[in-house]
Amino acid sequence: MTNARENTVERRDVLGTAIKATVGAAVLGPLAGGGMVCAQPPAPKGIAASGYAATDASVALAPFDFLRRDVGPTDVQIDILFCGVCHSDIHTARNEWLGTVYPCVPGHEIVGRVSTVGNKVTRLKVGDVAAVGCMVDSCQRCPSCAEGLEQFCENGTTFTYNSPDPGTGKTTYGGYSTTVVVTEKFVVKIPAGLDPKGAAPLLCAGVTTYSPMRHWKVLKGQKVGVVGIGGLGHVAVKIARALGARPFAITTSPGKIKDAGRLGAEGAVLSSDAKAMKGHANSFDFILSTVPRAHDLNPYVALLKRDRTLVVVGALDKKASDLVAAQLIHARKSVAGSLIGGMAETQEVVDFCAKHKITADVEVIPAQKINEAYDRVVKKDVRYRFVIDMASLKK
């Protein structure tokens, strides 16, 4: 399958030919009777982009200019309209997971308008509203890729930012920017009528919560617990309701207890209330933990019915507390994890949300307020997802 890696090979061939021609001119110029011809270094190739980047774990994000790769035959260029702020962005910018490569341009909840397409692109055209999520490439040959599980690529998924890009030899830059170039397979079409601001978080928060519900076969009428009612959790409640399940919000925030019903929850549980938690013991068919910090999973395992599963999707910044094995053994309960979703499933959840009129609850901010937004996310002071208006970069 043609992908960004093949585009790069073509670009390298063109560049190699250009270099040979330049060297030849330098050698033949004097022999042709003209003045000495000096080989000039080739002008930087690429598409100018601007955005916000972290240059160190301890400093605020700041304006940053850089180059995107040129559009290849199977590439799509998207002028970015909106980009969501995921907690993963904060973890990465601040090097809380270690391994951040600076400068780092975060952002993997990207919605924009197609401005250029390669000559082999078939699904998208200039003017389409399109989106990019957590991945921009994979090997597209391994068993996982063949099954549509590119996030588990056995030769290494190329994630949207802070990821080695075999196609360019550089590190990927994300959506806190004016434009992005991505191979067509990793671009999602946004259906007509779906608000692009509210759709942006679906590219991470949506697929990250939808995928495990589908994999573990959440059914109509089942009782589903959502632990953590934040950027991921509030979308999970809406999706579970649309699937016909009976979602319950499980939260540490009393203020979100009141909001749970508006989001579509049948009920809400304050996790610090031992009596309330005990009242729901052994009653849930499925529980999804979206909390992005270390937390004790044992109280939530106790809520599961026999043979049921708690799935962790909130990427933990530290080791979670030890599970009490007896809880798992005596009722054959399971704890599992899930990572985003493949590209087909990402398109599926966007279409599902359009059909059921689901968008994220967002607070739109200018790019100049990114650092303030980061601090507010950490303080749980957002209902429920910040989305950056990229038009603000031009002001």
The predicted-structure confidence for 231-280, as pLDDT tens digits, reads as follows 999 999 999 999 999 999 999 999 999 999 999 999 999 999 999 999 99
- The closest of 362, 64, 340 to 188, measured between CA atoms, is 340
47-204+342-392 CATH: 3.90.180.10
pLDDT band at 32 (very low <50, low <70, confident <90, very high): very low
Residue 329 has pLDDT above 60, yes or no: yes
Instruction: State the Cα angle at 361 between 78 and 130, rounded to 5°.
Output: 15
Is pLDDT of 59 > 90?
A: yes
- 72 in Cβ contact with 11 (< 8 Å): yes
Residue 293 in tokens:
């910090």
Q: Could you give the residue range(s) of every CATH 3.90.180.10 domain in the chain?
A: 47-204+342-392
CA distance 207 to 151: 12
pLDDT tens-digit map of 100-126: 999 999 999 999 999 999 999 999 999
- Where in the chain is CATH 3.40.50.720? 205-337
On whether the CB atoms of residues 86 and 200 are closer than 8 A, the answer is: no
Q: Which secondary structure element, helix H or strand E, spans residue 6, and what is its range?
A: helix 4-31
Cβ atoms of 346 and 370 within 8 Å: the answer is no
pTM of the model: 0.88
Choices 3.90.650.10, 3.40.50.720, 3.40.50.11890, 3.40.50.300: CATH for 205-337: 3.40.50.720
Q: How far apart are CA 373 and CA 23, in angstroms?
A: 51
Q: What pLDDT, in 10s, does the model give residues 188-200?
A: 999 999 999 999 9
Arithmetic mean of pLDDT, 383-391: 98
Q: What percent of the chain is helix, strand and coil (3-state, nearest 5)?
A: 35, 25, 40
**pLDDT at residue number 14:** 37
